[in-house]
Structure 1
Amino acid sequence: MAFGSMNSSNRPLPMAEINVVPLVDVMLVLLVIFIITAPLLTHSVKIDLPKASSSPNITQPDHVEFALRDDSTLYWNGESVTMDQLPPRFTEAVGQNPNIELHIRADKHVHYEHVAQVMSIAAKAGLVRIGFVTDPSQK
């Protein structure tokens, strides 16, 4: 410890040394905080991301080609249908083959609401394999 020297008038002179004890206390507290929080920052969540492939998928012969145009017309394997005709058609298709696939082709400007309605009707009928068909050459 530093003590002030006594001069001839018996008054202490100011200390010329820096007191580092508070600085060390603050640094030790920060060190403890970082030791506790560092393992929490490195925690990661395991996520199984889908793998992309550039090869086209080989489709089975039993599938339904369903198309939606931006003018709200619907096509079942090239045949024009209405939204009311879909539930019995999906039920019949699932009755013939429970593993049948639904391939949805939708125009670029079709509202997602229409696509979601078709997917909902298909799921209620029992279709479990629903996929989207895209054209990678168009941008």
Structure 2
Amino acid sequence: MLKRARVRQRRRPMSEINVVPYIDVMLVLLVIFMVTAPLITQGVKVALPQERAGGIPSPTTDAVIITVDQFGDFYIDIGEDKNAPASEQILFERIRVVLQYQPGTPILVRADNRVEYGRVVRAMVIAQAAGAPDVGLVTVPPERSERR
């Protein structure tokens, strides 16, 4: 009698990846980012004048924005403490440094429509004294109901 040799069946390696845990993690991260994103964007609240104006030809992603709130305080979106009022000297120095290293950087003034005109002009004069050849004003387009 011949003994039959036992043939062992080998298991094939599994070539599938279980992606369900990765999808769960991705959805949790998505929810976290959706909840925290509005909390991260902070700034000075101003009511911009509503006027029709031409667009700025160059992209404003690298623009320096000076904000003048309803009380006449200046804010600048570069440097430390972007949400803290800046003195005229700090405003001048920060703009001068930016224009020294990036001469073509656009300077924009974003002023509340309730602030006195002199404060807006003062922000523009400080920017020009720091070396800005042109200073732009930021407005928002008027709402449809006001155009009729």
TM-score (norm 1): 0.54
Question: Does 2:140 correspond to 1:135?
Answer: yes
Q: Map 1:1-139 onto structure 2 (within 5 A).
A: 56-57=55-56, 59-77=59-77, 78-80=82-84, 81-138=86-143
List runs of 5+ in structure 2 lacking aligned partners: 1-51
Q: Given that residues 70 and 114 in structure 2 are in contact (C-alpha distance below 8 angstroms), is that contact kept between their aligned partners in structure 1?
A: yes
Aligned length: 87
Q: Give the structure with higher Rg (CA).
A: 1
Q: 1:54 to 1:130 in 2, by over 3 A?
A: closer
Q: Which consecutive segments of 4 or more residues in structure 1 shift more than 3 A?
A: 53-58
Partner SS, residue 116 of structure 1:
helix
Alignment-mate amino acid for residue 64 of structure 2: V
Alignment-mate amino acid for residue 108 of structure 1: N
Alignment-mate amino acid for residue 99 of structure 1: G
> 1:91-119 CA deviation, whole Å, 9 max, x = no partner?
10111111111111111111111111111
TM-score (norm 2): 0.51
Using CA pairs below 8 Å that are at least 6 residues apart, which structure has the higher relative contact order? 2
Q: 1:70 to 1:95 in 2, by over 3 A?
A: same
- Percent identity over the alignment is 24
> 1:56-115 CA deviation, whole Å, 9 max, x = no partner?
445243211111011122211143222231111111011111111111111111111111
Q: 1:128 to 1:55 in 2, by over 3 A?
A: closer
Alignment RMSD: 2.2
Q: 1:55 to 1:126 in 2, by over 3 A?
A: closer
List runs of 5+ in structure 1 lacking aligned partners: 1-52
